[in-house]
């Protein structure tokens, strides 16, 4: 067992427990920085996400927090998009500079989007039911827009393992401003689980999953989430989001630069 990876799994899960998002956005860049090949970092992180989110989905389902129609609409876009992204990756030599450039570019875009969402959000996952900012265009075309958002998330997550949490939550708040915060979390998790599972299966067949790496990450994840959730009431969520958003922005710029000039 690698104590460094166990600690990394703990710290990243700690952040997720504190502010609700950021797991994929932190894990994949960290693994790449640790020396893991980009494709393996993405594939392993996706399977890690599928495993760790299962318990959360089950809990939210039992409490009636998941509106499955919205999950289905997102999945109608994300799962086919994930399949197409996997097919595209399968046509690229995993040892080539093009393959690494595709992943670096995807990471850069996903990290910059995630950081923008975190830095601009005033409250972590709370729409304002007293004054819902309903946009007429969104209201009229909400089902189609939900599917389109799914396509965006499916592509980003499959290519970079980033985007399901923050991008999904932000989209749900915009499209469904009357949706309770707990349902936003439930729908976001329930959609992210099958997407991460499908993408991880695809990466498995592409040879992009390191199971020993996975076994080193999981032992720290569960206690990290528990500790983070308990600390959340003592640390300002706004401060945590600002710190996380700033770190992800810097990482996103770095990956975007690397994809263009490396």
Total tally of structural domains belonging to the chain = 1
Q: Return the pLDDT at 232.
A: 59
pTM here is 0.79
Q: Return the pLDDT at 55.
A: 73
Domain holding 42, by residue range, is 3-261
Q: Return the pLDDT at 216.
A: 92
* Rounded Cα–Cα distance for residues 213 and 209 (Å): 8
Residue by residue, pLDDT tens for the chain (262 residues) are 789 889 988 888 777 766 656 677 788 888 888 889 888 999 999 998 888 778 778 877 888 888 999 999 999 999 999 999 999 988 887 667 777 788 888 888 888 887 887 777 655 444 455 445 566 666 778 899 999 999 999 998 898 887 777 788 888 888 887 888 778 878 888 898 899 999 999 999 999 999 999 999 888 887 887 787 677 567 666 776 677 678 778 877 877 776 776 5
Q: Return the pLDDT at 173.
A: 80
Q: Return the pLDDT at 177.
A: 79
Q: Return the pLDDT at 103.
A: 81
Are the C-beta atoms of residues 110 and 25 closer than 8 Å to each other? yes
* Residue environment code for 126-162, b if the CB has 16+ CB neighbours within 10 A, otherwise e: ebeeeeeeeeeeeeeebeebbbbbbbbbbbbbbbbbb
* Rounded Cα–Cα distance for residues 190 and 57 (Å): 6
């Amino acid at each position: 067992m690698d104590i460094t990876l166990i600690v990394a799994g703990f710290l990243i899960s700690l952040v997720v427990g504190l502010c609700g998002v950021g797991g994929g956005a932190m894990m994949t860049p960290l693994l790449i920085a640790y020396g893991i090949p980009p494709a393996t970092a993405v594939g392993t992180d996706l399977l890690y996400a599928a495993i760790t989110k299962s318990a959360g989905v089950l809990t939210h389902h039992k409490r009636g927090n998941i509106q499955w129609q919205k999950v289905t609409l997102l999945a109608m876009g994300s799962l086919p998009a994930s399949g197409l992204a996997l097919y595209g990756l399968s046509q690229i030599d995993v040892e080539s500079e093009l393959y690494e450039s595709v992943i670096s570019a995807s990471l850069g875009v996903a990290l910059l989007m995630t950081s923008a969402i975190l830095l601009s959000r005033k409250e972590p996952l709370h729409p304002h039911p007293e004054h819902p900012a309903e946009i007429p265009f969104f209201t009229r075309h909400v089902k189609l827009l939900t599917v389109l958002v799914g396509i965006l998330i499916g592509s980003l997550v499959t290519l970079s393992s980033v985007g399901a949490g923050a991008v999904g939550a932000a989209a749900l708040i915009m499209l469904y401003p009357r949706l309770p915060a707990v349902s936003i979390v439930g729908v976001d998790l329930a959609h992210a689980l099958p997407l991460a599972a499908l993408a991880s299966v695809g990466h498995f067949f592409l040879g992009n999953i390191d199971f020993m790496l996975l076994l080193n990450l999981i032992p720290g994840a569960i206690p990290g989430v528990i500790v983070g959730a308990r600390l959340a009431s003592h640390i300002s969520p706004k401060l945590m989001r600002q710190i996380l958003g700033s770190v992800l922005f810097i990482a996103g710029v770095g990956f975007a630069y690397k994809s263009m000039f490396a």
